[in-house]
Amino acid sequence: MAIKSLRSNKVRTFLTLLGIIIGVTSVTTIIGLGEGVKRQVNQQINDLGNDLITIVPGHDTSVSGFSSFSTSLGNSATNSHLSEADLSSVSKVANVDKTGGVMQLDGSVTKGDKQINTRIMAVGENYLELTKQRLTSGQFFGGDLENNETVVLSNDVATNLFGVSDPIGSTVTIRGTNFVVIGVLDAQKGFNFGQPINNMVLIPLPTGKKLNQDLIQLQQITVKVDDINKSGQTSDAVKKTLLKNHSGEEDFTITTQEQLVSATDYVFRILTGFTAAVASISLLVGGIGVMNIMLVTVTERTREIGVRKAVGATKVQIMMQFLVEALAITLAGGIIGILTSLIAGYIIRTQTAVKPAMDLWIVLLAAGVSLAVGVIFGTWPAIRAARKDPVDSLRHD
């Protein structure tokens, strides 16, 4: 009876369905995108291994380490910094295998009449190993980094400066100094702690010191530990060492890989929850549309209700008749919305680098929400239908 009733008003049913479809598609797609991006970021962090500890300037007082992820590599507004002495002291802490410092400089790279504003990163010889980055061609810094005016370009910078030509062995100018290109970074590999890889150039740390008025101001120190099980103890030891260097002031933040994953989870939970809440407004509007159309349907079928009650239909049977109609609309809209979301996720996956996650729990959540909307917004019209007086209903035109 519910299906027959809905088919008798195809246009009205379709428009009501459309509100539910848009709402379910929006919420499901946004949750899938948030979950997918979170997994991609966490996978990149996990690919680095659980044996890394990251130190950045500025004391993190936020909840769940929110800013420790967002302020990596000097994105913080803090005036504090990490020094060359800090890097040396940290490398001597027990259970520390390797250390690497990163100093970011502002500037541009010039080749002939082409000039590109980019991020100049002064790094040590362990940089590639600590960040799991790869080279598409050439080699990395090695041996004695002193008086080593060589540079490794990101893939995009190399393409913009040299086009299809091989940049290895060519000369570029950075801050008035000529550098020989010895390598090109693969922008698709590795992780740079929240920073893009495709728009930077790498130079040796001692050379960066000379370009920075003979002063090293590190935006990040990365530590690789020998024993992963002692990461917590090593982190505490590093903290004590840095406190001595900084006269007891904790103007730095130490983050383990586990804390970094927790911080990203926290960030994406907030972002996904907020955007899903905004998108759910469309689902709310669709539910109100269902209630509105069911109230109209009850009014139109008042005489039918009177006839059914006159021949013995109970209040529960009348109520269930109209409630099932509401559930049929929302469930059908939910199923179509889920399918639309799957198609949208496939298009996003194939056309972009983002990989939405359409897990079973997301699909079941969408179906459950659709049923809940049907129950919530269909109950009141169904109750109104059940409460109608049979005599008055039979008199209704």
Q: Give the 3-state DSSP-derived string for 259-289, with helices as H, strands as E and coil as C.
A: HHHHHHHHHHHHHHHHHHHHHHHHHHHHHHH
CA dihedral for 121, 127, 132, 136, sign (positive or negative): positive
Looking at 219, 250, 281, which one is the last position of a domain? 250
Share of the chain above pLDDT 90, in %: 15
Q: Are 115 and 214 members of one domain?
A: yes
- Do 235 and 289 belong to one domain? no
Burial 126-165 (b: 16+ CB within 10 A, else e): bbbebbebebeebebbeeebeebbbbbbbbbbbebbbeee
User: Which domain-ending residue is among 199, 217, 250?
Assistant: 250
Give me the helices (H) in 301-388, please: 302-310, 315-351, 360-387
pLDDT digits (tens, 9 = 90+) for 25-35: 988 988 888 88
Share of the chain above pLDDT 70, in %: 89
Residue 263 to residue 266: CA distance in whole angstroms: 5
226 or 256: which leads in pLDDT: 226
Number of domains in the chain: 2
Query: Pick from 229, 250, 271: which residue ends a domain?
Result: 250
The answer to whether residues 357 and 282 belong to one domain is yes
* Kind of pairing between the strands at 150-154 and 177-185: parallel
- For residues 209 and 271, membership in a common domain is answered with no
Query: Which residue reads 């996990």 in tokens?
Result: 46
Burial of 387 (0-12, 13-18, 19+ CB in 10 A): exposed
Q: pLDDT at residue 249 above 60? A: yes
Query: Do the strands 114-123 and 135-138 form a parallel or antiparallel pair, or are they unpaired?
Result: unpaired
**Together in a domain, 279 and 351:** yes
| Over residues 238-249, mean pLDDT | 90
Is 61 among the domain residues?
Answer: no
Alpha-carbon distance 245 to 157, whole Å? 37
Domain carrying residue 202: 81-250
Assess whether 182 and 97 both reside in one domain.
Answer: yes
| Segment 177-195, tens digit of pLDDT | 899 999 998 866 544 444 5
Please say whether the beta carbons of 189 and 134 come within 8 A: yes
Residues 157 and 245 both lie in one domain: yes
The DSSP H or E segment spanning 182 is strand 177-185
Q: How confident is the model at residue 146 (pLDDT cuts 50, 70, 90)?
A: low
Q: What is the pTM of this model?
A: 0.62
Q: Are residues 29 and 94 in the same domain?
A: no
Residue 323 pLDDT greater than 60, yes or no: yes
Task: Give residue 342's pLDDT.
Answer: 92
* In a shared domain, residues 164 and 232: yes
